[in-house]
Amino acid sequence: MNEIVFFINKVLVAGLVTGSIYAMGAVGVTLVFAILRFAHFAHGDLMTLGAFIAFALTAAFPHAGAIFGLPTAFVMLPAAMALTALLAIWIDGRFYRPLRERGAKPVVLVMASVGVTLMIQGLLRLFAGTGTRSMFIAERKDIFRIELPFELARRKIVITEPQILVILFAVVAAISLHWFLTRTRTGKAMRAMSDNPDLARLSGIDTQQVVRTTWIIAGSLAAAAGTLLSLDVALKPDMSFNILLPIFAAAIVGGVGQPYGAIAGGFLVGFAEVLSVFNWAILLRPFRPLLDGVVELPTHLAFVPTEYKLTVPFVILVAVLVWRPTGIFRGKVI
């Protein structure tokens, strides 16, 4: 039983948390892909930027969280999301729209977004340094240890407060996104523009409005994902390129332009990462007495060493591009 509890701690909880973060990032990437038709390389740094805004707000009001009984950074999340969304719209107007209006190829926009990602990185490091910080300034991270009502399970299920918040936030975000896309006028306009931009324009849809909404959703989800990730682990200024690959893999696996696909892809990539670095030998431990002398069980049995975790999203990406370039949910290829 202890082994199963260990499995829950290491795989189920970790997979749900990683998956939620990736899903929130991938939804933004896939929406930008669908509406603006380019791979937004600055998304990882948009996440870092949002996390730093939340950190700055937390540092300004370190005791605000105590009123609600939540981590301060989480209380500051709405403000950080709004600010990041505004910044995303501003970045679009400064750096992407002029290129779009000139009729540049998507790949030029990809490059412009690389330029933007370097600018954000440079500014963050200039003003905040390169060190790692904790998002908890005036409080401590709550850790819950849940005892199981079984005799055999002596280990406890361990889950931290940020982890619970990540999972809950992702669920709420997914439901509100669904409601927005299917029930509101702007949401429907977005789906129309994603399906056929020319037809959408002809039917009188305000494309500027749709582009703005896209950046609001992408920017605020990125800020939320970045903040929640740094609440769970720590605030690092250099996560962008490492998180970019899993997010893109998730968006492509789910089918480009498919928000639900991106959510599914995010969890798929998250769980694949966790499962492939998990030490499977632990699950075989109970069978050791049975197999003694027959087969020697290794003490460490993982598909990928932790240092090579990044290969997992890459392999998933390659597999999808080879066998099903449209992704699971049949996204756009052009």
Partner 1 sequence: MTTYRREIILFALLAILYGAVFTLFGAAYGLRMSVEALCYALVALGLTIQWGYAGLFNAGVMGFVAIGAFMTVLVSFPPNMAFWNSDMPARLGTVALYAIAGAALTWGATRLNRLGVPSRLRTLIAVMTGAAAWLVVSAALDPVARDIERQAGFIGGFGLPVLLGWVAGGAAAGAVAWFVGRICLGLRSDYLAIATLGIAEIVKALLKNADWLTKGTLTVSPLPWPVPTPEQVGFIWGRALYLALMATLVVVAWALLERAWRAPWGRMMRAIRDNETAAAAMGKNVNRRRLEIFVLGSVLMGAGGAALITFTRIFDPAGFLPLNHTFLIWVMIILGGAGSNLGAVFGALFVYVVWVMSEPAALLLFDAVREAGQAWFGWQAPADLDSRALQARVFVIGLTITLVLRYAPAGLIPEKATMQAPRPSAREKN
Would you count residue 38 as binding partner 1 (CB under 8 A)? yes
Amino acid at 38: F
Considering only residues 143 through 162, tell me which ones interact with partner 1, judged by CB under 8 A.
none
Q: Which of 90, 179, 325, 330 binds partner 1 (CB under 8 A)?
A: 325
Burial class (CB in 10 A: 0-12, 13-18, 19+), 94: exposed
Considering only residues 83 through 102, tell me which ones interact with partner 1, judged by CB under 8 A.
95, 98-99, 102
Q: Which of 64, 70, 86, 108 binds partner 1 (CB under 8 A)?
A: 108
Closest CA to 86 of 222, 228, 187, 212: 212
Amino acid at 29: V
Would you count residue 328 as binding partner 1 (CB under 8 A)? no
Q: Which of 60, 68, 129, 152 binds partner 1 (CB under 8 A)?
A: 129
Residue with tokens 């963050």, as numbered in its chain? 124
Q: Which of 39, 75, 189, 211 binds partner 1 (CB under 8 A)?
A: 39
Would you count residue 130 as binding partner 1 (CB under 8 A)? yes
Residues 6 or more apart whose CB falls under 8 angstroms from that of 269 comprise 19, 22, 246, 249, 250, 253, 312, 313, 316
C-alpha separations of 57 from 75, 124, 154, 222 in Å: 10, 15, 41, 17
Q: Which CB, 94 or 288, lies closer to partner 1?
A: 94
| Conformation bin of residue 204: beta by default, left when phi > 0, alpha when psi is -120 to 50 | left
In angstroms, rounded to a whole number, what is the distance separating the alpha carbons of residues 2 and 6?
6
Query: With contacts defined by CB under 8 A, how many residues of the chain interact with partner 1?
Result: 56
Q: Which of 26, 34, 36, 112 binds partner 1 (CB under 8 A)?
A: 112
Q: Which CB, 104 or 158, lies closer to partner 1?
A: 104
- Interaction mask 8-37, partner 1, x per CB under 8 A: -------------------------x----
Residues 6 or more apart whose CB falls under 8 angstroms from that of 35 comprise 190, 193, 194, 210, 211, 214
With contact defined as beta carbons under 8 Å apart, do 113 and 41 qualify? Answer: yes
Would you count residue 123 as binding partner 1 (CB under 8 A)? yes
Enumerate binding residues for partner 1 (CB under 8 A).
Answer: 33, 38-39, 41, 95, 98-99, 102-108, 110-112, 114-123, 125-126, 129-131, 241-242, 244-245, 248, 252, 256, 298, 301, 303, 305, 307-308, 310-311, 313-314, 317-318, 321-322, 325, 333-334
